[in-house]
Amino acid sequence: MQLKTLQKLELPAAADMHVHLRQGEMMDVVVPTLEQGGVDTAFVMPNLVPPLTTVDQVIEYQGKLRAIAPNVHFLMSLYLHPSVTPETIEKAAQAGVVGVKLYPQGATTNSEHGVANIEAFYDTFAAMEKHDLVLNLHGEVLEALAPEGTTLEEAFLPTLKQLHERFPNLRIVLEHCTTAAAVEAVKACGSNVGATITAHHLYLTEADACCDPFAFCKPIPKKPTDRDALLKAAVSGNPKFFFGSDSAPHPITSKTSSAQGKAPAGVFTQPYVTQLVLLGLEEGVERGIISEEDLTQEKLEGFLSKFGRRFYKLPETSGNSLLLERKGEKIAPSVKSESGSVEVGVSRAGAEVFSLTWVRKA
Ligand code: NCD
Ligand code: ZN
């Protein structure tokens, strides 16, 4: 399809398989933006303060999210920590928790309690394999451990391979993959290894992320050729690659008042997440990286909705759909709480995007 000139399209409601919804007032502001951006199924990250390391904490958090957005299906995760034992995994499986997120200690926002030695968790991974829980990887090594000339993500890829070889039946997601090498590494693994691709990594590169705090996130956007590899993977029709926005809100003041290079990592895309994926693809066509023929209804539906649901063993459709129409709408600069005390800047503010209307199943 010719997205650039298309006036109207209909898509199934998006499944966003990597979201940060935070807590407190920030949560109250951010959770409603899921549906604003066309999402009715979301895999929720556990990097709260304190991190969600017990099943009871996860279930309590899920209750709070459901109270704010009763029409969204929240898939929940635990934060991998020494207290997450094989017994915890059994309890998590019974409670319907679907994944466990591994943050290398110190790699990103709220990862202080993360993993220092992956091998110490092999018993936990074996239990996850047995109970069919997904292992969600923040696939980066610490800066001190990356060899010269290699990105933090590329240096992590041998670990992905080792984990897959050691636990061949464990479902693994390499979250927010950002490099051509990661795309290839995921393809080389079996069908139970997939990867999420964000909206923002389809349009940002290191040149944006270095200098604009609203484009700064982990993993850092990479070279144009890496971005282009992600665009190709997103429209490849390969079900290993599905959408996970990694939309990560931070107070606007923390982004604007921090010294250059010190702003917290995270790009906020949630209120326009479906439209931002379409914008990234549209720009990919304009640059000649992907073609109009790549943008079929089937491939868009696969990437934005079906493949993620399939990986997480959900029905392939929720029955809800989205009507997207060109009406000259522009991305608002920020979203705010009623009192104005919480405000979050949105990625690509001012860009013209499709307007979104829900078509809910009867
Ligand atoms: C995320 C956050 O702010 O929680 N930040 C980010 O840049 N993506 C954490 C993460 O997913 O790395
Ligand atoms: Zn994230």
Supply the mean pLDDT for the chain: 97
Pocket perturbation via mutation, ligand 1, pick of 246, 247, 270 by most ligand atoms within 8 A of CB: 246
List, as ranges, residues with CB under 5 A of the ion ligand 2. 246
Q: How far apart are the first and last CA of the chain?
A: 29
> Does ligand 1 come within 6 angstroms of the Cβ of 108?
yes
Supply the pLDDT for residue 94: 98
* Pocket lining: 246 vs ligand 1, CB cutoff 6 Å: yes
In DSSP terms, which residues pair with 325 in a beta bridge?
8, 355
Sheet-wide strand order for 172-174? 77-79, 99-102, 134-137, 172-174, 193-197, 241-243
Q: Whose CA is nearest to atom 9 of ligand 1?
A: 109
pLDDT for the residue numbered 262: 83
Q: Quick one: which H or E segment has residue 8? A: strand 8-12
pLDDT tens per residue across span 116-140: 999 999 999 999 999 999 999 999 9
Residue 47 Cβ inside 6 Å of ligand 1? The answer reads: yes
The CATH class, in words, for 8-359 is alpha beta
Number of CB atoms found within 10 A of residue 151's CB? 21
Q: How much is the pLDDT for 258?
A: 77
The pLDDT value recorded for residue 322 is 98
Q: Given pLDDT bands bounded at 50, 70 and 90, which one contains residue 243?
A: very high
Q: Does residue 261 surpass a pLDDT of 80?
A: no
Instruction: Indicate the length of the chain as a whole number.
Output: 362
Pocket of ligand 1 contains residue 266 by CB under 6 Å: yes
Q: Please state the atom number of ligand 1 nearest to the C-alpha of residue 265.
A: 7
Show Cβ contacts of residue 36 under 8 Å, excluding neighbours closer than 6 positions: 270, 271, 272, 356
Q: Report the distance separating Cα 335 and Cα 344, nearest Å.
A: 5
Percentage of the chain lying above the pLDDT 90 cut: 94
Q: Is the CB of 101 within 6 Å of ligand 1?
A: no
Lowest mean pLDDT among 79-83, 149-153, 257-261, 307-311: 257-261
Question: Domain-by-domain residue ranges, the chain?
Answer: 8-359
- Give the pLDDT confidence score for residue 362 in this predicted structure: 83
Number of CB atoms found within 10 A of residue 209's CB: 22
Q: Would you place residue 22 in the very low, low, confident or very high pLDDT band (cuts 50, 70, 90)?
A: very high
pLDDT of 185-214, one tens digit each? 999 999 999 999 999 999 999 999 999 999
Confidence of residue 144 (pLDDT cuts 50, 70, 90): confident
Percentage with pLDDT > 70 across the chain? 99
- Beta strands 193-197; 352-359: pairing state: unpaired
Q: Whose CA is nearest to atom 4 of ligand 1?
A: 109
What's the whole-model pTM score?
Answer: 0.98
Peptide bond into 50 cis (omega under 30): yes
Choose the residue to mutate in 19, 109, 212, 344 for probing ligand 1, maximizing ligand atoms within 8 Å of C-beta: 109
